[in-house]
Structure 1
Amino acid sequence: MRWIWIFILVTLMGEAKALRVLISGFETFGGLSHNPTELMIQQLQKEPLEIEGMSIQTVVLPVTYFQSWQRLKEEIDSYRPDVVLSFGYAPSSHGVRLERISQNYDRGGKDNAGVSHFGKIIEQDSNETLTSQLPLKELKNYLEERGFEVNMSDDAGGYICNHLFYYLMHHIQNKGIQGGFIHISDMPLAGQNGSMALLKEIVTFLSKRQSL
């Protein structure tokens, strides 16, 4: 009986130490044929990443100003992650864009529900900008060493991506949660420089930092 309790305690301790990561992507938008972040999340749901000491939850978000953040917030509140990685699709970009700054201002067009927030403040009585809580410089170096084209960005756009990014940064302040936003280009799922390889490297990077 004593050994059973020891086993249970060790198991619970192992689970408590697991890094909980929430990863989000978006549905297709703007008449595009696909969204590589949605495909990436769907593939991850079919073939979960198996990384020791890490628990991963995923969600595909609707491309609407209201529902995108509400859906992500529900996942954060229920899953209680240590890290939130939100991905967006930037069709005109190349490689990977690590977003540094979210702006408290919407300047994009209509969402998938036909709603426009152009010229609206995202969060009243809050900072003009909020910065990513991810170690972006270290992550950039890590990914470049593994063959990915990576750029730092101070403009996440004025559409749903920045909208979600700002709400996320505002929500996780002083909660002990790391979070940030990453744009990807129209990269393939598979291959050495595909989105699944990228995601695995990012999660592995986080796992290594956790073990330090």
Structure 2
Amino acid sequence: MANATPAQQQKRNVYLTGFSKFDSIVENATTHIVNAIAEGASLTVAVVLEVSAEGRLLGNARPIAKKAEEPDRPCVFLRMGVDADSTKFSLEYNLADFRTPDERGWVAQNVVINADEDDALKTMLPLDEMLADLERVNANARISTDPGRYICNYVYFHSLHWVKTQDANHYALFLHVPEFELIPMDEQVQFVRRVIELVAALD
């Protein structure tokens, strides 16, 4: 990737989040991935969030946003969620209309996430270049334009909105991963580690 440097030359803080259980996914793959790489050298923060619209704004989500606002260096929010219907890693490019109740029982239908914002926001990361690099780690990767209508979409929208409102050159990315039955945990951890290296080294 042209504008990336080795991981030891970290230029950005990386805030990694996964999700806890939701709906039929009791063992969320992203919980295990976050825990496996929580001590990574290129990570600033690594936490598992409750799967709820309310929970995203409460508890352990607040310290992350507060820390990201500190005048340190630009950051990247790397959000992860499980796509039970996919066999690939999906780099998500973005109404909150969630098909499934969240862990607090809330179901949103035709809900505007932020009335003052565009209907859709997109990441400004160089996804094509990132994908070319990541495919050397695992060929089962793609760029997606549909992060779904569940909490993943909600969290990604808020992350991109936060990035847009900041003066610094921040980024946000949502990565959907498959279940471990389709791509084993060790391969997924390796893939996510490479994503972290790439975004941490961006100018």
Which interval holds the TM-score relative to the shorter structure? 0.7 to 0.9
1:1-212 alignment, distance < 5 Å: 18-45=11-38, 48-50=39-41, 54-70=42-58, 71-80=60-69, 82-101=75-94, 104-175=95-166, 176-186=169-179, 187-190=183-186, 194-210=187-203
Tell me, yes or no, if the aligned pair for 1:106 and 1:163 is still in contact at 8 Å: no
Letter in 2 for 1:118: Q
Higher RCO (CA-CA < 8 Å; seq separation 6+): 2
Query: What is the rounded CA distance, in whole Å, between the counterparts of 2:88 and 2:159 in structure 1?
Result: 23
Higher mean C-alpha displacement, 132-141 vs 69-78: 69-78
User: Structure 1 residues 18 and 152 mapped into 2: Cα distance closer, same or farther (>3 Å)?
Assistant: closer
Q: Normalised by the size of structure 2, how large is the TM-score?
A: 0.83
CA RMSD of aligned residues (A): 1.9
Q: Alpha-carbon deviations, 1:42-77, whole Å to 9, x = none?
A: 1223xx223xxx442111110001111444343122
Tell me, yes or no, if the aligned pair for 1:25 and 1:60 is still in contact at 8 Å: yes
SS at match of 1:173: helix
Q: Percent identity?
A: 22
Query: What is the rounded CA distance, in whole Å, between the counterparts of 1:31 and 1:200 in structure 2?
Result: 27
Letter in 2 for 1:129: A
SS at match of 1:124: coil
SS at match of 2:107: coil
Q: Which runs of 5+ in 1 are unaligned?
A: 1-16
Deviation, 1:25, is: 0.4
Q: Where does structure 1 differ by over 6 angstroms across 4 or more consecutive aligned residues?
A: none
Query: What is the rounded CA distance, in whole Å, between the counterparts of 1:32 and 1:107 in structure 2?
Result: 16
